[in-house]
Each structure stands twice: as C-alpha cells, then as structure tokens.
Amino acid sequence: WAIYAPYVVAINELKKQRNAVILAHNYMTPEIYHGIADFVGDSLQLAIKATEVEADVIVQCGVHFMAETSKILNPAKTVIIPDMEAGCSLAESVTAEGIAQMRAKYPGAPVVTYVNTTAEVKAASDICCTSSNAAQIVAALPDDTIIMTPDQYLAQNIANQVPEKNIVWWEGSCIVHEQYTAQDLKDFREWNPDTRIIAHPECPPDVVAESDFSGSTSGIIDYVTREKPQKAMLVTECSMASNISDALPEVDFVGPCNMCPFMKKITLEKVLFALHTMTGQVEVDPAVAEKAKLAVQRMIDLSR
C-alpha cells in the first residue's frame, strides 16, 4: 500500500476539486476498489448508481461500455474513462448491423442485449440486461422467441433457467470466462472436494453446471459473504477474490482465476492523469444515446 498511498491521496483530493465521483467495477484492482472508489458494484448496480449521481464528473473505473452507459444516462455530465482502450471482447463481437441480421432471421422476436455492448448496439435493441437480471427480463417478456446478444454462453445459461422460452443467440463470448472448462472444474473438485465452486454466467453452460452457484459479480460476493465456505474457487476475474479476501479471513480463496486485460488497463496512475487533465471524456451521439437510453431504462425499470 505504501507505493499506492501518494496516488490515493492525490486522486481523493482531485475528486473534491473537480466535484467528481468514481464508480468502480468489482474487477478493479484492490487499490482502486478500496482506495479511491466512491461506489463499487456489478454492471447493473453501476448503471443504477449512475442515475443517482449528483457530482458534475463521473470517473468510470471499468471498461468503455460501462462509461458509455453512464454517459447515456447522464448526457449533461462529464464522464471520463481513464483508458479509452479498456474495451471488452463481447462489446467488440456485435454491431448494429448484426442486430439487424438477427431481426431479419427471427422476425418479430424482441432483442435483449447484454450491457456489454456499444451504444449503437443498445440503440438497435429493445431492452438491455446484465448477468444479474437477464433471467428476470427474459421471463417478463410476453414473446416465446427471444433474441439474446451478444453473449452465447449467458444466453444458453438463461435458456436453461427459463426453459419455457425459445432463446436464440449471437455467437459472442467473453475471453476471460470462455477459457474455463467443465473438466478443469471436475479435476479441481476431485483434489479439493470441500471447495465451493462459484461461476459467473459468462462461463459455458457445462462449467456453470459443474459449479455450486452462479451469479453476477455482486451475486458472487453476496453468496460468499453469506455462506462463508471454508474454501471457495471464484470462476471469474482474478481481482474479485483479492478485493473481498480481507473482509472474509475465514474463507480460503483457492484455484486458478483469469485476468481481464481490458479491466486491467485502468490503473491509479491513469485515473490521476485523467482527473488532472480531464482527458478521456466519453461522448455518445445524442440521437444514438436517446435510443440506447430507452433500452437501458427499460432494463432498470424492470429490475427494481
């Protein structure tokens, strides 16, 4: 912590001067998560928080689509992402043209789009979802056939949870979660039978089937905090366990994890630079933002 302290002090001081808040995702490194964030959460919690912010400036410590969502919800505020290159393999996997192709293939079916997408894709969709509310949103729609984009694995996991719906999907995937295999988990369990295995729903369905619990990043934190298993393997991004291990000394976090190279682009140095220079401002075409907001707001309204 000694090497981080000067950055933490300087950033917290600059936040006051700029009237800024830092919204940070659960995958941020511990020095960001514990040192400078005003609010931490999963994608849905961050989107809801963005609707409640009173500060003039939002610094999004997360990936670009999260900052875009904050801007869509707050067009008059300044939204900053400390590294414009903090992307997402899911957001890169589909365009508005792809959504149009799916609509042509399944006429009349509503498009439920994961928030891990660009503003243009959200604008071309009917409603957004996150990993914490996807099943609820799909179940609430009156249609039998539902298009889910862009995460094929989230779609397949939701199809298992809501079998009465005919869910069709785009073929995108998360480069972090697609790497886990069911065989890895089986092998791990054989050697560590008393480990609670907890997987994010961006993992393939056979990985989720091998796990004891699956949920959004905040769902995972709530589960481990509530259950306090002796040993826990978090089948997700590495910073999750680092961020919660101090508060849960009775839980031994074991097993491998995968790093998200996009989330890891956000560092204390870059946050300090961005706040100092007010660079990295996220802009969304107002016409696109207006349409995208409808899809995001419908999701928020359905999730309350």
Q: Which residues bind ligand SF4 (CB under 6 A)?
A: 63, 88-90, 116, 174-176, 202, 237, 260, 262-263
153 is in an annotated binding site: no
166 is in an annotated binding site: no
Determine, following the binding rule CB under 6 A, whether residue 174 of this chain makes contact with ligand 13P. Answer: yes
The DSSP code sequence of 253-298 is: E-S--B--TTGGG--HHHHHHHHHHT--B----HHHHHHHHHHHHH
Determine, following the binding rule CB under 6 A, whether residue 120 of this chain makes contact with ligand 13P. Answer: no
Near ligand 13P by CB under 6 A: residue from 69, 70, 113, 131: 131
Among candidate residues 92, 206, 69, 199, the one with its CA nearest the CA of residue 149: 92
217 is in an annotated binding site: yes
Cβ distance to ligand 13P smaller for residue 188 or 262: 262
Q: Closest distance between ligand SF4 and the C-beta of residue 142, in Å?
A: 29
Q: Please report, as residue ranges, which positions from 212 to 251 form the binding site for ligand 13P (by CB under 6 A).
A: 216-217
Q: At what angle do helices 43-52 and 64-73 cross, to 10 degrees?
A: 30
Near ligand 13P by CB under 6 A: residue from 7, 8, 20, 26: 26
Q: Closest distance between ligand SF4 and the C-beta of residue 252, in Å?
A: 24
Near ligand 13P by CB under 6 A: residue from 116, 118, 125, 157: 116
Q: Which does 64 bind (CB under 5 to 8 A by kind): ligand SF4, ligand 13P, none?
A: none
Q: Closest distance between ligand SF4 and the C-beta of residue 179, in Å?
A: 10
Determine, following the binding rule CB under 6 A, whether residue 68 of this chain makes contact with ligand 13P. Answer: no
| Residue type for position 19 | N
Q: Which two tokens stand for residue 227?
A: 């259950």
29 is in an annotated binding site: no
Contact at 8 Å (CB) between 280 and 261? no
Contact at 8 Å (CB) between 224 and 198? yes
Tell me how long the chain is: 304
64 is in an annotated binding site: no
| Side-chain half-sphere CA neighbours of 160 within 13 A | 13
Q: Which does 130 bind (CB under 5 to 8 A by kind): ligand 13P, ligand SF4, none?
A: ligand 13P
Q: What ranges make up the beta strands (E) of the chain? A: 20-25, 39-41, 57-61, 78-80, 111-114, 127-129, 145-149, 166-169, 195-199, 213-214, 231-235, 252-253
Contact at 8 Å (CB) between 75 and 51? no
Which residues carry a binding-site annotation? 25, 43, 88, 114-116, 131, 174, 200-202, 217, 260
